[in-house]
Amino acid sequence: MSACKPTGAAAAAVLNWIMTIARLLVTLATTATAAAGAFALEPEEIFKRAAPAVWTVKADIGNNQVAIGSAVAITPNLLVTACHVVTKAITLKLTQQQREVKVIRITRDPVPEHDLCVLQTEPGAALATVAIAPIASVSVGAKAYAIGSPHGLELTLSEGLVSSLRANATSNLPTIQTSASISAGSSGGGLFDVEARLMGVTINISPGGENLGFAYPAQLVMELPKRIDAELVLWRERLKSLGVVMGANGEPTPSGHAELDNEAALPVLGRGSDPAALRLAYKQFLLQSQPRAFMITGDGRFGTVTSLAGLNEQLVDCAQKKVTCAVYAVNDTVVWGKQQPAN
């Protein structure tokens, strides 16, 4: 027996019915979530839920120096932190009690004024994560709980209030001011609400100010992919103007000079230059996320740029000093030696 096919009107009615049910389910789920969130958790429960996602960051910056900060896991292998903690790192590791995880990549917010970075761990890290609190749910006077590693003291909890929501000139999202105690080493840690949701990422304390800390709203982290994609288009065009040959896939074409990790192939910069410093800077470059470029100038300077603004700033500096700006490597490709003349 063959099944009867519904008429166009009947199919439309079925579709409308399905959509109505779907909307009802969404409404019920939202109501249930709101009801569940209406009850504030005790500080002990907030710490129990949020602390597993907070890690201590240890950045090896060379010359037997280590910078210490904090980070919060937002996916099983991605964490958010403050960029100034990891800027000069040649290796990074995360610690939490007896556990240690290696970081393989750093992604920076393309907005230069944002001290915001994402850390990618080695595969299989399976980090505990936290929920994100939308900025619309953050209000002045609400309780706030900071968890981080002030002065290296792992998983320290402090309580305060959301003191203010300050306008941010580089974003339509405000910066969160808090009275929760934040000290050196807390940078990159989490600021949580009474439901143990991540409200913000702590970035700094006011010099000389007690209980005067600041955090980027966690929602700013979730908007990172959109900002990165927009900048990537302009980044590629700027490199092409410098003579970097791009393939059809938008990635740089290798020059054949050397493999990416071959430090011995780095150019000799002349008398008085320090090869060890060049190698150290290149190691820092290798840890950075894409987009990234390792630049060498005609007057013997070198370093990594990881944003369009940083690249343009370097080019302006070279123009003012009337020296050549050359690109040694872009992303995972060495382009040194066969660049086209700059446009």
Q: Give average pLDDT by consecutive 10-residue segment, the chain, 343 residues.
A: 40 42 40 51 96 95 88 93 88 92 86 87 92 94 95 94 93 93 90 96 72 90 78 89 86 92 89 86 86 91 89 92 92 80 41
> 173 in a domain, yes or no?
yes
The span from the CA of 38 to the CA of 36, in Å, is: 6
Element (H, E) at 148: strand 143-148
> 123 in a domain, yes or no?
yes
Of 194, 220, 246, the residue that ends a domain is 220
Q: What's residue 14's pLDDT?
A: 37
The residue to which tokens 């556990």 are assigned? 99
- Please indicate, yes or no, whether residues 48 and 127 belong to a single structural domain of this protein: yes
| Domain CATH number, residue 152 | 2.40.10.120
State yes or no: cis peptide before 6, omega within 30 of 0: no
Q: What's residue 30's pLDDT?
A: 41
- Please indicate, yes or no, whether residues 49 and 191 belong to a single structural domain of this protein: yes
Count of beta carbons in the 10 Å neighbourhood of residue 306? 24
> 1 in a domain, yes or no?
no
Query: Residue 48 carries which DSSP code?
Result: H
Is there a contact between 103 and 94 (Cβ–Cβ < 8 Å)?
yes
- Please indicate, yes or no, whether residues 30 and 126 belong to a single structural domain of this protein: no
Of 200, 220, 240, the residue that ends a domain is 220
Count of beta carbons in the 10 Å neighbourhood of residue 340? 11
- Please indicate, yes or no, whether residues 67 and 49 belong to a single structural domain of this protein: yes
- Please indicate, yes or no, whether residues 118 and 240 belong to a single structural domain of this protein: no
Calculate Rg over the CA atoms of the chain: 24
Virtual torsion, Cα 78, 84, 87, 93, nearest 10 deg: -50
Instruction: Give the CA angle between residues 293, 296, 300 to the nearest 5°.
Output: 155
Q: What's residue 107's pLDDT?
A: 82
- Please indicate, yes or no, whether residues 199 and 228 belong to a single structural domain of this protein: no
Q: What's residue 287's pLDDT?
A: 85
> 109 in a domain, yes or no?
yes
Please spell the DSSP secondary structure of 216-260, one letter per residue. Answer: EEHHHHHTHHHHHHHHHHHHHHHHHHTT--B-TTSSBPP-SS--T
- Please indicate, yes or no, whether residues 33 and 44 belong to a single structural domain of this protein: no
Element (H, E) at 22: helix 8-37
Domain range for 66 is 40-220
- Please indicate, yes or no, whether residues 47 and 176 belong to a single structural domain of this protein: yes
Residue 282: phi and psi, rounded to 5, are -70, -35
- Please indicate, yes or no, whether residues 181 and 248 belong to a single structural domain of this protein: no
> 156 in a domain, yes or no?
yes
- Please indicate, yes or no, whether residues 83 and 161 belong to a single structural domain of this protein: yes
- Please indicate, yes or no, whether residues 12 and 72 belong to a single structural domain of this protein: no
Query: Residue 64 carries which DSSP code?
Result: T
- Please indicate, yes or no, whether residues 30 and 52 belong to a single structural domain of this protein: no
Q: How many domains does the chain have?
A: 3
